[in-house]
């Protein structure tokens, strides 16, 4: 039986365990090198042994490790060709192999392959019958693997091990009600001051979570695509007919006070001057558009089948040229508006706040009796928080556990397939010049003293 796990986090002494929890990451970040000053050799060896054993097989009893598992002969090899050529060869960190015998155990291989979040969890998977070696279910965590052995884990167990923790029903409802309160507050502010809220939303600082950053980039790409499509839709609404209709409308509204400034909508001085020329051309033609500028009347005006005198044709060509120039300038103005608003607010849609709908809070007492009655209508979530599929033991939709990337270290002696949750144990880990295949958070001098401690005890 393994030792009881009395202190899983080890926050007091700051020991690093073979687990993917956040406490180990914190201890790893604050860890300082061992200080040997003022210590006897035995004290140095004891300190090194304590640090390394907290990581390598902390669940194994010390007596069993010293008498049965520990092997004094460490496996390594040297590059003879380099030494024969009198080349400088990096020293081989052979003492890092002190705990290499543990790496061939099935429980350790599962953890190294990232099929379990800790060695203790790997033991649970093995004893639960979720692990196979060469197609045979193995229920012994200490099963020794040999070169070429293929082991696999039930994919559901791997998703559970590497996935975010599933919240309880009560906690999920509380989180969703909190999200709904924030959403309703956001809707209220957006309707009150839409542009300010839009800009604040776009200028949020980047998240420290790498997964969230990826999702943010995806959302930004979607916004850019939607912004470009919005820009194109606005440009498509602007054409010669729509511009001519606006000119007639603005010119008629100005009446006797008609000037270039009557066409303020079209921005710069040159564009307003062209609008005035178009309206004056229509006055010169005594065009019926001055009284009826409906879409049907505009279609008739631009129709090639309409009979015209040579003078009318000349004026139509002049108006067409002016409208074509105004059309291009309007398209450019719309494009610049989208660009000049900035990367975040470039795709601002003034009507977005009107489409936001407040949401009613969830009835916790009712949902605790029957979870199937839950109806979440948040824009980013259509189910209870983390319980899209309540039958799964992990967070759904599946999300990687926090800080998983800090522990994503793949071993050299195992070939892993995450698509099928299979792995091949290629060989026992060895040391080579400048590198050891045993993954450890401790430097060579710590392993050296730990080995000195065990080599003496093992020979006594």
Task: Write the secondary structure of 359-410 as one string of H (helix), E (strand) and C (coil).
Answer: CCCCCHHHHHHCHHHCCCCECCECCCCCECCCCCCECECCCECCCHHHHCCC
- Which pLDDT score, from 0 to 100, does residue 213 have? 55
**pLDDT at position 3:** 65
Establish if 362 belongs to a structural domain: no
Query: Which tens digits make up the pLDDT trace of 277-294?
Result: 888 887 777 777 777 778
Helices (H), 255-309: 269-285, 295-302
Identify the domain containing residue 120 by its residue range: 7-162+397-456
Residues 427 and 308 occupy one common structural domain: no
What's the total number of domains in the chain?
2
User: Are 141 and 247 within one domain?
Assistant: no
Q: What is the pLDDT of residue 265?
A: 72
Residue 218 lies in a domain: no
Q: Are 125 and 162 in contact (CB under 8 A)?
A: no
266 is written with which tokens?
A: 């079209």
**pLDDT tens string 321-348:** 888 888 888 888 777 777 665 444 445 6
Q: Which two tokens stand for residue 344?
A: 């975040």
Global model pTM greater than 0.85: no
Q: Answer yes or no: is 352 within a domain.
A: no
Do 135 and 27 share a structural domain? yes
| Contacts (Cβ under 8 Å, ≥6 apart) of 377 | 359
For residue 274, is it within any domain?
yes
232 occurs within a structural domain: no
Q: Which among 98, 104, 115 is positioned nearest to 146, based on CA atoms?
A: 104
Q: Would 11 be classed as within a structural domain?
A: yes
Asked whether residue 366 is domain-assigned, the answer is no
Q: For residue 364, give the nearest of 341, 385, 393, 388 by alpha carbon.
A: 385
Give which of 382, 245, 365 is closest to 302, Cα–Cα.
245
Tell me: do 335 and 422 sit in the same domain.
Answer: no
Q: Spell out, as residue ranges, where the chain has pLDDT lower than 50.
A: 211, 342-346, 458-460
CA–CA distance from 192 to each of 186, 187, 282 (Å)? Answer: 10, 9, 43
Number of Cβ atoms within 10 Å of the Cβ of 425: 24
| 150 and 11 fall within a common domain | yes
**For residue 303, what pLDDT is reported?**
80
- CA–CA dist 59, 108 (Å, integer): 12
Do 401 and 337 share a structural domain?
A: no
Quick check: is 221 in a domain?
no
| Percent helix, strand and coil across the chain, each to the nearest 5 | 55, 10, 40
If asked whether residues 40 and 146 sit together in one domain, one would say yes
> Same domain, yes or no, for 336 and 402?
no
pLDDT for 13 equals 76
Q: What's the CATH number where 105 sits?
A: 3.10.290.10
Q: Structure tokens of 112?
A: 């190294």
């Amino acid at each position: 039986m393994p030792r009881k796990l009395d202190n899983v986090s080890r926050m007091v002494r700051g020991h690093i365990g073979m687990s993917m929890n956040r406490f180990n990451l914190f201890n790893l970040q604050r860890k300082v090198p061992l200080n040997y000053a003022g210590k006897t050799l035995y004290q140095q060896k004891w300190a090194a042994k304590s640090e390394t054993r907290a990581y390598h097989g902390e669940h194994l009893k010390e007596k069993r490790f010293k008498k049965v598992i520990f092997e004094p002969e460490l496996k390594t090899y040297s590059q003879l060709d380099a030494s024969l050529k009198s080349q400088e060869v990096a020293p081989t960190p052979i003492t890092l192999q002190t705990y290499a015998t543990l790496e061939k155990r099935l429980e350790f291989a599962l953890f190294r392959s990232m099929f379990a979040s800790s060695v203790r969890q790997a033991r649970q998977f093995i004893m639960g019958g979720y692990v196979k070696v060469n197609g045979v279910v193995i229920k012994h965590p200490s099963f020794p693997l040999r070169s070429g052995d293929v082991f696999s884990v039930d994919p559901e167990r791997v998703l559970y091990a590497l996935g975010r923790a599933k919240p309880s029903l009560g906690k999920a409802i509380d989180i969703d009600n909190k999200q709904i309160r924030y959403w309703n507050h956001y809707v209220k502010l957006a309707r009150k001051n839409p542009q300010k809220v839009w800009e604040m939303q776009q200028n949020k600082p980047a998240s420290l979570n790498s997964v969230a950053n990826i999702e943010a980039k995806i959302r930004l790409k979607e916004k850019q695509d939607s912004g470009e499509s919005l820009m194109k839709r606005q440009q498509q609404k602007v054409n010669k007919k729509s511009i001519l209709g606006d000119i007639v409308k603005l010119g008629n509204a100005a009446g006797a006070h008609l000037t270039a400034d009557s066409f303020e909508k079209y921005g710069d001085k040159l564009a307003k001057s062209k609008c005035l020329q178009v309206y004056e051309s229509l006055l010169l033609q005594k065009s019926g558009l001055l009284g009826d500028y409906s879409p049907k009347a505009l279609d008739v005006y631009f129709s090639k089948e309409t009979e015209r005198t040579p003078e009318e044709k000349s004026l139509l060509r002049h108006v067409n040229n002016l409208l074509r120039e105004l059309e291009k300038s309007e398209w450019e103005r719309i494009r610049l508006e989208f660009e000049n608003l900035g990367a975040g607010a470039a795709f601002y849609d003034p009507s977005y706040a009107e489409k936001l709908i407040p949401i009613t809070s969830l009835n916790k007492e009712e949902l605790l009796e029957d979870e199937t009655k839950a109806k979440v209508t948040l824009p980013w979530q259509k189910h209870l928080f983390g319980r899209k599929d309540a039958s799964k033991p992990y967070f759904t939709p599946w999300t990687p556990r926090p800080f998983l990337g800090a522990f994503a270290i793949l071993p050299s002696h195992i070939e892993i397939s995450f698509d099928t949750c299979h792995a091949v144990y290629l060989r026992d880990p060895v040391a080579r010049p400048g590198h050891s295949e045993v993954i450890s958070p401790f430097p060579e001098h710590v392993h050296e003293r730990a080995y000195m401690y065990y080599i003496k005890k093992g020979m006594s």
